[in-house]
Every structure is written in C-alpha cells, then in structure tokens.
Amino acid sequence: MAEVLLFHHCLGLTEGVAAFAGELRRAGHTVHTPDLYEGRTFGDLEAGVAHASEVGFDTLLERGVRAAEELPAEIVYAGLSLGVLPAQKLAQTRPGALGALLISACVPADTFGGKWPEGVPAQIHGMDADPFFVDEGDLDAARALVADADDRKLFLYPGTSHLFAEQGAPSHVPEAAALCVERALCFLSRYKR
C-alpha cells in the first residue's frame, strides 16, 4: 500500500477533501491531509482564492514543503486544484518521490526548476470544459507533461466543473469523481509496503 500526502484545494480542508482521502484509506493506503489554511474553510471558489492570495502562494507552498518534512521520502504526492502546487513541487524536487496525482490543475514542469523527473509516474485528472483547467493553461501543461511518457497519463472527463471530486458540493460530479478515484486507486496499487 502507498503512503500519500494529499493537499487540499482553495476551499480548504473540507469534508469533501476528507471524503476523497477516505476513499483512498478504505483501499488500505495511508493518507496525510495537512491543513495549509490553518483551520479556515470557504464555501465558494472566489472566497477561497481570495484567502490564498491574501496568505500568499509562496507561503502556501512553504507550508506544503514543511508538511512533507516529517514524512518518508518515498511517498506519493497528491493535490486537488490549488493543492496541486505543493504536490507537483514536491514530486519534482524532493528526492524519493514515488508518484503524483494531480486533480483539477497542472502547472508547467519548468515552474519548479526544470523537467519532470524520470521514473516518477503521474496521473492528471480534469474536466474537458472546466474554464479554470482549460482556459488558464493547466490542460496545455498537462498535455506537455504526459507527452511521450508511458508512466504519465492525462484523464479528461466531460463537463465544466472545477472541483468535480468534492463530495457534498454543488460542483461534485459523482460519475467523474468515482472514475477518478478508481483510476487513482489503480495508480496507487503498484506500491506495496
């Protein structure tokens, strides 16, 4: 079973994030869910993004790096939307990364100092008409990341929802979320402790 460090989206460490982590735990994986917002949660994307901007994206990235310090190097990094930033940074820069699950976001590999590391598999999940994922460059970054790589995959789901995996929220798309979890579990099944 894998050990996973899962970073929350811009709404904070919500019940939906806990539910997603719970799906992975039920399959036997150890999942850590640090709270980058120090207890704050938000009900809509606009308020969550405003809070992230106020705290500062560099500060949130640093909190994510600190969350990994007490954990083994051999870990899978996962992120939902905003949480992809620390997950992707750690997967690219922390030695020993086993893989990355990037959901509803992806940034160009050169954001964190270079190309994607060889031997670190990844899955990227997003909706094919999500304006945040498609129009803000995440889809292009994801396509570049998986190009010519057998161990990196992009999965697109039909729809416009950004936080499609957020159970209990109006943005939740149950069919897409269930398939995302199924694929994530398949990805994680390669790791045995």
Residue 121 forms part of a structural domain: yes
Tell me how many domains the chain contains.
Answer: 1
Residue 94 forms part of a structural domain: yes
Kindly list the distances between the CA atom of residue 33 and the CA atoms of 8, 83, 146, 147, 176, in Å, as whole numbers in the listed order: 7, 10, 26, 30, 22
Choose among 148, 149, 129: nearest CA to 139.
129
Give the global pTM.
Answer: 0.96
Q: CATH number of the domain that 150 lies in?
A: 3.40.50.1820
> What DSSP string runs through 56-94?
-HHHHHHHHHHHHHTS-SS-EEEEEGGGHHHHHHHHHHS
Residue 153 forms part of a structural domain: yes
Spell out the per-residue pLDDT of the chain, length 193, in tens: 899 999 999 999 999 999 999 999 999 999 999 999 999 999 999 999 999 999 999 999 999 999 999 999 999 999 999 999 999 999 999 999 999 999 999 999 999 988 899 999 999 999 999 999 999 999 999 999 999 899 999 999 999 999 999 998 889 999 999 999 999 999 999 886 5
Residue 193 forms part of a structural domain: no
